[in-house]
Amino acid sequence: MSGRSWGRVLQVQQLGLVGVIVLLGVVLSLLAGSHPDPQTGREVNNFLNPNTLLQTATDASFFAIMAVGATMVIISGGIDLSVGSVFALAGVGMALGLRAWHLESVGVGLLICVGIGLACGLLNGLLIVNLRVHPFIITLGAMWVYRGLAFVSSRAESILVPDSLTRFAKCSLGLPPTLTPLPMLAMVLVATLGSIFLTNMVTGRAIFAVGGNAEAARYAGLRTGRVLAAVYALAGLTAGIAAFLGGSYYGSASCADATGYELYVIASAVVGGASLAGGKGSVVSAMLGAILITLIRQSIRTLHFDQNYEWIIIGCAIIVAVVLDRLSQQMSERRLARGVDR
């Protein structure tokens, strides 16, 4: 296959992700088995049924929402290892605040989570820009600081959230009571807004410019410091939204929430085609990557494999995605070189 043909294949990554998701869903449907419906008595596939499919989408939604902000960070040429800790701190802050003020307001809970997430993300961005320290170091330290703050403030206890928030997160929106589509709808909405922001707004295009070539963007008049601070603030914002949905859905928040989510978030973005070198990525593809990773986790449970295989498979998926991205870059460079030679 020629370099041009490979280039066309690599450009339809979203279609490829959808194909892999469908294929994995078919395999799970064939191997999952079935059970009798308690009401009708009919055989129901253990995977291909509304409850399981919606629960799979719900499981993916929390780190898929965080992957939207993390993808913007990766497009800018950075990395954020603190999103899981921001999730934990925002959730604990919301639960403690509502309990201290004796409030059951959904709006106040959302504002607390979003406010804490935005503040943490903005602090990360300002430290990276002003101290000129690599984002890996800043966000690695922030990961421990924010998780430690959540631990100290909650005293390592699980803090219950008001029932009004749980009813909101688990509302059926007219569907049967066992179906709770709100987290999935929030995931789609955040991904849609993120895609519009990146592709249609000036600041969004500036993120690609900074990630592609920061020096050229600076000479073009872009305030790269502001752009970088903004992307980390957006990463914190999406972590706060995910914390609100996660804490509300499960009815509690603790300092251990979202432990290890950094791997899932970064994997979702990278599997979705975001380049760790910067300048390339898609939040819609990151959402599809999150769904694919959730299906991989689901398949491991369905096929009764050792849970430790989950880490192996996700790690291999990251390596393969990075290798494919590197191959795509090399092909693009060769095509460009051939065009110059002519």
- Set out the domains of the chain in order of their start, with CATH numbers: 44-336 (1.10.3470)
The 10s digit of each residue's pLDDT in 261-282 is 998 999 899 888 888 889 989 9
Does 2 have pLDDT greater than 90? Answer: no
CA distance 213 to 299: 40
The 10s digit of each residue's pLDDT in 176-226 is 888 999 999 999 999 999 999 999 999 999 999 999 999 999 998 999 999
- At residue 229, the 3 state secondary structure works out as helix
- Which residue would you say has higher pLDDT here, 22 or 115? 115
- Which residue would you say has higher pLDDT here, 233 or 33? 233
CA distance 119 to 158: 23
Q: Residue 151: CB partners within 8 Å, gap ≥ 6? A: 255
CA distance 106 to 67: 24
Mean pLDDT of 4-33: 72
* Alpha-helix runs per DSSP H in the chain: 3-10, 13-31, 50-75, 83-101, 106-131, 135-154, 163-169, 182-200, 202-212, 214-219, 224-250, 261-271, 283-302, 309-341
Mean pLDDT of 103-129: 97
Residue 13 banded pLDDT, cuts 50, 70, 90: low
Q: What is the mean pLDDT of the chain?
A: 89
Does 104 have pLDDT greater than 80? Answer: yes
CA distance 235 to 123: 11
The 10s digit of each residue's pLDDT in 307-333 is 777 788 878 877 887 777 777 777 776
Most confident of 44-48, 116-120, 169-173, 203-207: 116-120
The packing angle between helices 202-212 and 224-250, to 10°, is 110
Does 1 have pLDDT greater than 80? Answer: no
- At residue 1, the 3 state secondary structure works out as coil
Mean pLDDT of 40-62: 89
% residues pLDDT > 90 (the chain): 63
Does 304 have pLDDT greater than 80? Answer: no
Instruction: Give the pLDDT confidence score for residue 8 in this predicted structure.
Output: 44
The 10s digit of each residue's pLDDT in 122-144 is 999 999 999 999 999 999 999 99
End-to-end CA distance of the chain: 22
Torsion of CA 247, 251, 256, 261, to 10 degrees: -40
CA distance 263 to 316: 12
